[in-house]
Amino acid sequence: MFSHRGNMFPILTTFEHNEENKENYDFSSKKSVDEDIEIIHDDCLIIEPDIPIPIFHDTNSHISLVGILPNDLSKQTKLFLIYENRIMNVHVVTSVNNLERHHHITISHVNHFYSIPKRHLYLSNICDIQHISIPQQYRIMYISPLKKQFSLGFICENPSVYNNLRHLVLFDDGSVAYTTMNDHIHLCLCQDFERNFRSIESKLVRKDFQELFFDKNLNKKQYQLHNYVRVKKFDDKYHNAQIIDIDCSIMKLKFYERQAQTEIWMHRQSSLIDDIFLSPIEIASPIILQNKRKHDEISPLIENCIGSTNNNNICNGTEYRCATSDGKRRPGRPRKNHLPPNETRVSLLPSIHTFHSNSYQLHQCSSYCVLGKEENFNPNCFTENPYILPFSCGWKYFHINRYAKGRFTKKPSTHKTTTSRSNYLYRSPCGRSFLTLDEVETYLFQTNSKLTIKFFIDNLSTHIESFIEYDSKYILNNDISQGKESVKISVYNDNNNNLPDSFLYGTETRSKLILRNDPNPITCCSCTDNCRDRLKCPCWRKTFEQAKSNDNEQIVSWQRQHLSDEQMISRFGYVHQRLKAPVWSGIYECNSKCSCHTKQCTNRVVQNSLYQQIQLFHTDTKGWALRALHDIPHGSFMNAYVGELITEEMATKRDFKYLAILDHTSHLYTNDNNKRKQSMKNCFNYNRIIDETNQIPIKRCVRLSTDSISDEDDNDDDDDSDDEENHSCFILDAKYYGSISRFYNHSCKPNIHIQNVFINSHDPQFPVIALFACRNIRAGEEICWDYNYTVGCMSGVRIDCQCQASNCRGRLL
């Protein structure tokens, strides 16, 4: 809007003339204080002092924008020289004409004469900031008369209604301030931003200013009061801070871990502020580390909690607690409460266990530790972000600063940690602290908790408090699943009032085709440890053995590193009920014949219902789509592709849109890894049905009959009743019957992947097609998989891909 080079925005100032000493200057004693070579520049905004003062009107603020910077300086004009962090009163030695052409000005100070670069010189007159607006990027000196301090900085915002008619100043130390009427602002004689910019010492601050001034696409970070952030506080190290005040574009941060608890105002879009964290971030207090050490020294699986009553060591930061849902909250929005330091948390067995928020008592952990807290937890109904559930059940979450103390100083903490020892810590309702999800899992087992490990996050990239806001007036249906899912899936349409075409909602695949016999024996187990000892569980072992015999790349590489079977199996496939990479040979879950716990078994993931909060929304270009309402961690299970089981022949007569092929055998028999991956993706590839030139082998191993099963909603055509004996593959059609999974769109850069899973049938022709997050998914992101259609395979059908991914292949079909 304004240019610091032009003359559209002049500044008013006046100059003192002192003719008395006019003859006293001795140029022979002139010294050059700064040997900077200044080149010709037109950076000074100069207006002849005698011309009428121009007045501009800012339409936003209605402030008069008036002022003059002189082009000439009279002899004896008083200036400020700022040098070596001191202000000196100086005088111009001789009158200066065409100031813009001068790079050095000769001044006198205590009867010495110096040639000073213009950028060190400031007008001694105060700008009338009540009536004028100083252009952005202008170099100024700011004096707070109250504090009797001066600082150098740049104007970052002009007065407007947005900022209550104030100037915002960015200081050379990276801090910021809005001016008040009492502040004194003095202008530099040189207004070349680049030149003044070089005086900023910290590289980080320089980079930050560049971005704030010139990067128009700055991310608008949504910080809120009391959020915790990490700040690169000018020494290239991170410091944790809490937002304690917000004022228009700036926020006040308190570096609470420091003894001095420094408070500083920073720009809300400063690149020095690294990221927003879980609220609250609490620095590992000595008590936590100390307890953890003792805990480890004794035994990692020790039954007793280690406690301490030394409350002096406790951080009294904001605590992250969630009350049970009141139904009014926006999806995924956590609540923050301040907990009085000694509030009693659990008092189930008052005589033995009395837990305080910040103190522990030695005790034997058992179901009593969690029972009272889990009273309201219903594992079949999720009304909010599932990663908040532990907090509703009395858990706490801390972020640990590994720089802080003792053993954690060895490894610098990183943002996206994948190591087992992470930068976070969960604390159980009874006060035990856990640094790894393995430990949490053990505790859940010990206490017979209703929670499962999938509700605990394992990386700091998942922001539990992220949520998307939407206007509820566009919700056309509160739950498209009509209560059949464990979550409510709302239907949002801000384009029109149309609802999706009707279909019968179901969460399990069904068919008129009946499996006569399944020649493949089903493995089952009788584990009593939630199948945590994987080598002992036949189901876990089957997944592992299948992968091994199919030369799974991961296993091959581990074998090269001489890992034992126990080591390999413990980190293969599901880890903490998440699957980070597909297992092409299939995953074998515990099933209805197993005697392990149906909800808490660690090898039951896909057979459990959808627990993520997602929403069906209408897009401009792709019809209906699904989006995440909260962050979803990498590896999390979404749901299975559900539909009506039909044969290939039947599928050729149906709408291809909702078809998915069950084709596990082909990729088992595909030797080449790339091909194997390809065929895995082909599960949704209609090309497999119509293009017989495809060489992927198909193994037929079951016979189907058309004996009908009861079907309350018979949408089938007549052809569906054919007895199919010579089919090669089976297909799921979700057009008339299916679950929410029918709405996942295609993306060339997907965020979910498919995985063949075997539960109650180990027949390779009938895998469950399960969908897992293949990376961290952000709240609000559309959830898509890669259909991997073969472009051009259907004559007369062309669909241009609208995924807008950077690597978009252009066409879907």
Ligand X SMILES: C[S@@+](CC[C@H](N)C(=O)[O-])C[C@H]1O[C@@H](n2cnc3c(N)ncnc32)[C@H](O)[C@@H]1O
Residues of this chain that interact with ligand X (CB under 6 A) are 622-625, 657-658, 742-743, 745-747, 799, 801-803, 812
Shortest separation between residue 617's beta carbon and ligand X, angstroms? 10
Q: How far is the CB of 742 from ligand X (least distance, A)?
A: 6
What is the DSSP secondary structure assignment for residue 483, as one 8-state letter?
A: T
Rounded to whole angstroms, the Cα distance separating 739 from 381 reads 17
Q: Among 440, 430, 431, 427, which Cα is nearest to 301's?
A: 440
CB of 811 to ligand X, least distance (A): 9
Find where tokens 């092929």 sit: 661
| Nearest C-alpha neighbor of 640 from the set 744, 780, 763 | 744
Between β-strands 86-92 and 637-640, what pairing exists: parallel, antiparallel or unpaired?
Answer: unpaired
Separation CA 539–CA 531 (nearest Å): 9
Largest Cα span, the chain: 117
Residue-by-residue DSSP string for 667-691: HHS--SHHHHHHHHHGGG-THHHH-
How many helices (H) and strands (E) in the chain?
13, 40
Q: Smallest gap, in angstroms, from Cβ of residue 745 to ligand X?
A: 3
Nearer to ligand X by C-beta: 96 or 689? 689
Shortest Å, Cβ 802 to ligand X: 4
Q: Please identify the residue of the shown chain whose CB is closest to the bound ligand X.
A: 623
Q: How far is the CB of 678 from ligand X (least distance, A)?
A: 19
Pick between residue 278 and residue 616 the one whose CB is nearest to ligand X.
616
Minimum CB separation from ligand X for residue 686, in Å? 9
- Kindly state the DSSP code that residue 575 receives in the 8-state scheme: B
DSSP 693: T
Q: Which is nearer to ligand X, 750 or 767 (CB)?
A: 750
Identify which of 471, 744, 749 has the alpha carbon closest to the alpha carbon of residue 614: 744
Q: State which residue, 360 or 624, has the beta carbon closest to ligand X.
A: 624
Q: How far is CA 733 from the centre of its chain?
A: 35
Listed in sequence order, the DSSP H helices in 499-537 are none
In the numeric block, the tokens 């952990």 are attached to 365
d(CA 123, CA 77): 9
Phi (first) and psi of residue 180, to 5 degrees: -115, 170
Instruction: Choose between 93 and 777: whose C-beta lies nearer to ligand X.
Output: 777
Q: What is the DSSP letter of 624?
A: E
Rounded to a whole number of angstroms, the minimum distance from the CB of residue 615 to ligand X is 14
Choice between 266 and 625, CB closer to ligand X: 625
Distance of closest approach, residue 810 Cβ to ligand X, in angstroms: 10
Tell me how long the chain is: 813
Q: How far is the CB of 193 from ligand X (least distance, A)?
A: 45
Run of H or E residues at 244: strand 238-247
Nearer to ligand X, 356 or 746 (CB): 746
Q: Of the two residues 122 and 624, which places its CB atom closer to ligand X in the complex? A: 624
Residue 576: alpha-carbon gap to chain centroid = 21
Nearer to ligand X, 91 or 681 (CB): 681
Residue tagged 């100070």 (tokens): 109
Residue closer to ligand X, measured from CB, 137 or 747:
747
Q: By the 8 A CB rule, do 512 and 711 touch?
A: yes
622: which 2 tokens?
């792709």
